Structure 1
Amino acid sequence: MAKPPRPDDVPGLPARRAALKLLDAVMRRGDPLEIALHGACQGLADRADRALVHAIAAEVLRHLPDLDALIDGATKTLLPDDAKARMVLRIALVQVLVLGTAPHAAVATALPLVDGGPRKLVHGVFGTVTRAQPALPNPPTLPREVAARWEGQWGASMVEAAARAYAVRPPVDVSLRDSAATAHWAEQLGGTSLAPGHVRLPEGANITDLPGFADGAWWVQDIAASCAARLLGAGEGRSALDLCAAPGGKTMQLAAAGWQVTAIDQSKKRMERLTENLTRTTLSADVVQADLRNWEPDAPVDAILLDAPCTATGIYRRHPDVLYRIGPRQIADLADLQTELLARAADWLKPGGRIVYATCSLEQAEGEEQLARFLTARPDFSLVPAQVDELPVGIAPTAQGWLRTLPDTLADTGGADGFFIARLAKGSN
């Protein structure tokens, strides 16, 4: 009679162990999913295994409240939120309900994860849930704390739109090196354009295999993110700083628009990506690795783009971990940093120069409130309202003159990331 396989011999188990480790890093330590992925996947040489680890973790986070509702409905005594058995059940169930894994394979790789723990409980709950053949809600349920916070800022309709957007795969937008060739690249890439220099790709496109990628004719950049550089217009050889620049989408936009760009970022690894992107696109910029709290330019400049460090709640569709890592404390801490950086950057601008402040956040503390605080502290600056003809089709400035993209922005064509963008001018006196 054949012996049952040892836990370490179960096919696919190392990837599930890595997924458990990755989710622990996100939920318990607050590490960003993409950063924690490398450490969690140590020992996994197969790229497909690493992709599976990412998919399991991302889909658990996307559907976590709904997975928990199924688990709680199958237990007499609720498992603690941080119980290992609960996380193992989430991993097993998401494979069956989202990723299409056969139930026997999912449970075979789940039970060894709770060796020394409640294996019978996990097996029983998994069986109870899967025998009922449930379907996860569409759209997914947002975490209660996030929904309450956003409803307080934007109202119930925004929360409903955020949930709907959460269920849709984010589109892939690209920015073009030559905006005059927009029609050409829209045809070549089989996409649609909402603005000069923009193409939205068809779903499922393999980026690196598309025409123009290797030649540097375009780069991936969400349409909302591209609006920040659009508000600075043509450079005509003038000087510009791109602060917190990596991985370089806005740097390349500014360089393509004729600005003499100095790109500054603190991260060595991300700056290497920026340099690679500049090389691929044959665009040029001075690249500086530095902490903006300690660095300053040799002379004032004509324009500044500050895409400030933020909570990144505006890109929750791509990075669902932000909904679990970010709370009031993180929002307050990052708002303080934004205030400091914006104040420093303002002093580096020539009289009459312009600064664009941007965050990929859906939190008013990092956008509207930040702008109001700055204008109160710096009466020598004024808001320069964005104009409709400067922006992509379907994206409009607010009545106050700044730009705020929300989950219902471009909803009929795939949506856009959440951004706050404001353009300010420094007085000439």
Structure 2
Amino acid sequence: MDIPGLPARRAALNLIDAVLRRGETLDQAASSALSRVRGEPDRALARAIAGEVLRWRADLDELIDSATRLPLADDAKARAVLEIMLAQVLRLETPAHAVIATGLPLLAGGPRRLAHGVFSTLTRRGIFLPNVPTLPDAPYERWGDRAEAIAKGLALPPPLDIALRDAAQTESWAEKLGGTSLMPGHVRLERGTPVTELAGFGEGAWWVQDLAASLPARLLGTGGEGLSALDLCAAPGGKTMQLAAAGWDVTALDIAGRRLERLRANLERTNLAAEVVQADALKWEPEAPFDAILLDAPCTATGTCRRHPEVLHRIGPRQIDEMAEIQTKLLSRAAEWLAPGGVLVYAVCSLEEAEGEAQARALEGLQPEAITQAELPDGLAPTDEGWLRTDPGMLAGQGGLDGFFIARWRKV
């Protein structure tokens, strides 16, 4: 007979293993890892446990190591089980007896007495985690002077940001949904209520989009009669909907058919229009140049670490180099497709210089157009070069935002 709650803990263990051993994202691992977990609450619990372990792993491991005479191997199953047990007590406020009942069975045939002893020793001490997660060594070294500020943005899962179809209704929707707004067209809500149950979802009044992710499309301004915009790498459609709502005649291009299905569904729900094209941007050629191009390029997505903490563990130099090579090619092609006077915005949800600043410095043939303070929400500022770099630690007192790099050029 299954112990209540055990399948969710076993699924959490499998999710963590998929990230650390196979380099998968939590979304990629979810289908297999959660296949035997019944009910959405338990599936959400498994995801929450895995997320908290990956967010706080360095600190959880320090606690574990302080209570063992001989260190456990980094990939030892007993270590992973103890991480799961401690994360529940320290982050999810699960009673210790429930943690023991659903944790130790994960080590059937293994060192259950060792795990029980370590857990009991630690909980008797009155242990706690620091206010800010300790970053793994690799990203800490890559992010340099920014690392500590970034870490401050990872202590809590992020709130829910939505982008409004009609920015003029910002105050009304903020009041109706009980949220706050950091700039016109944006409302921030506390986590908890399922998105589809919120007012305005069914009528397509808004879509989910992190505040930072909404900035690139805003920096293209408003469209008008006959003005064309290309949204490269467009799925699942947040920026396409922004551009369409701003009056652009939008072409939305992406290589991924299944993600384009979501884009089409989002357009239908919001009653917005765009020409949807499934193609490889490195091979596709437009029939005519565009007045505006938004390239939200494929990237390592390290800037989403507050909502996807697995990127702290699965991204390294190889992945960064691979993405940077693709970004350089896409940026070069996008620059060729601009009409005279047209504007190009490049963006990545990455914290890596190779994917952001290095790409902007290398682009030739277009006139840089500086991002201005007036275009940004309070608390953010452009760099001296006229670019924008956001980090998860920014606006921390208001719920933070994802890490992005954004730059803009005009064809003269």
1:197 corresponds, among 152, 174, 185, to 185
Distance 1:78 1:321 in 2: 24
Q: Distance in 2 between matches of 1:46 and 1:209?
A: 18
**For residue 344 of structure 1, what is the aligned residue in structure 2?**
333
Asked if the contact 1:74–1:128 (Cα under 8 Å) also holds between the matched residues in 2, the reply is yes
Any conservation in 2 of the 1:312–1:322 contact (CA below 8 Å)?
yes
Question: In the alignment, does 2:217 pair up with 1:229?
Answer: yes
CA contact (8 A) 2:306 2:392 kept: no
1:183 paired residue number: 171
Choose the corresponding residue for 2:12, options 19, 32, 45: 19
Say if 1:230 and 1:391, in contact at 8 Å, map to a contact too. no
Which has the higher mean CA deviation after the structures are superposed, 196-205 or 390-399?
196-205
The Cα offsets for residues 78-131 of structure 1, whole Å up to 9 and x where unpaired, read as 111011111111112211222222222222222222222222222221222222
Shift of 1:203: 5.3
1:97 is matched with which residue? 90
Taking a change above 3 Å as real, the CA distance of residues 408 and 57 of structure 1, as seen in their structure-2 partners, is closer
Partner of 2:53: helix, strand, or coil?
A: helix
Alignment of 1:420 onto 2:405:
yes
Deviations along 1:133-185, one digit per CA (max 9) or x if unpaired, are 3111112211122112211xxx1xx3222222111342322211112222222
**Separation in structure 2 between the aligned mates of residue 184 and residue 48 of structure 1, nearest angstrom:** 32
Question: What corresponds to 1:3 in structure 2?
Answer: none
Give the Cα–Cα distance (whole angstroms) in 1 for the partners of residues 9 and 186 of structure 2: 39
The residue aligned with 1:300 is: 289
| In 2, Cα distance between equivalents of 1:195 and 1:125 | 49
Among candidates 118, 126, 133, match of residue 125 of structure 1: 118
* Number of the residue aligned with 2:317: 328
Q: How does 1:231-246 map to 2 (within 5 A)?
A: 231-237=219-225, 238-246=227-235
Find the partner of 1:210 among 198, 208, 212: 198
Counterpart secondary structure, 1:166: coil
CA distance in 2, matches of 1:95, 1:35: 23
Structure 2 CA distance, aligned partners of 1:123 and 1:36?
28
**1-structure distance, mates of 2:326, 2:136:** 26
TM value normalised by structure 1: 0.92
Following superposition, the deviation at residue 284 of structure 1 comes to 0.6
Query: Is 2:390 the counterpart of 1:405?
Result: yes
Q: Deviations over 1:45-80 (max 9, x none)?
A: 311111111011001111101110111011111111
Secondary structure at the residue paired with 2:341?
Answer: strand
Select 1:389's aligned residue among 349, 360, 374.
Answer: 374
Aligned equivalents of 2:94, 2:396: Cα separation in 1 = 31
User: What residue is the counterpart of 2:53 in the other structure?
Assistant: 60
Q: What is the one-letter code of the residue matched to 1:197?
A: G
Q: How much has 1:325 moved relative to structure 2?
A: 0.7
Q: 2:153 touches 2:394 (CA, 8 Å); kept in 1?
A: no
Q: Which residue of 2 aligns with 1:145?
A: 138
The SS at the match of 2:153 is: helix
More deviation, 287-296/198-207: 198-207
Deviations 1:298-349 (A, max 9, x none): 2221111000011111111111000001112211111111111111222222
Cα distance in 2 between the residues matched to 1:351 and 1:425 = 8
- By how many angstroms is 1:407 displaced? 3.3
Report if the CA contact (8 A) 1:15-1:44 is conserved: yes
How far is 1:370 from its partner? 0.8
CA contact (8 A) 2:154 2:393 kept: no
Residue matched to 2:362:
373
| 1:195-239 Cα distance to aligned partner (Å, 9 max, x none) | 222222355455333322211111111111111011111110311
Distance 1:113 1:408, change over 3 A: closer
Q: What is the number of residues matched between the two proteins?
A: 411
Q: Which moved more, 1:99-108 or 1:83-92?
A: 99-108
- Residue 207 of structure 2 is matched in structure 1 by 219
Q: Structure 2: which 5+ runs fail to align?
A: none
TM-aligned CA distance change 1:192 to 1:98, over 3 Å: closer
Q: Which residue in the other structure is 1:312 paired with?
A: 301
Give the TM-score normalised by structure 2. 0.95
Does the 8 Å contact 1:173/1:223 carry over to 2? yes
Instruction: Tell me, in whole angstroms, the C-alpha distance in 2 between the residues paired with 1:10 and 1:203.
Output: 29
Distance 1:108 1:183, change over 3 A: closer
Q: Which amino acid aligns with 1:75?
A: T
Counterparts in 2 of 1:74-89, with a 5 A limit? 74-89=67-82
Cα distance, 1:117–1:168 mapped onto 2, change above 3 Å: closer
Inter-partner Cα distance in structure 1 for 2:30 and 2:345: 33
Mapped partners of 2:109, 2:332: distance in 1 = 55
Partner amino acid for 1:214?
G
- C-alpha root-mean-square deviation of aligned residues, in Å? 1.6
- Structure 1 stretch 264-273 or stretch 324-333: which is displaced more? 264-273
Aligned-pair distance for 1:189? 2.3
Which secondary structure does the structure 2 equivalent of 1:28 belong to? helix
Closer/same/farther in 2, CA of residues 123 and 411 from structure 1, 3 Å limit = closer
CA distance in 2, matches of 1:291, 1:100: 47
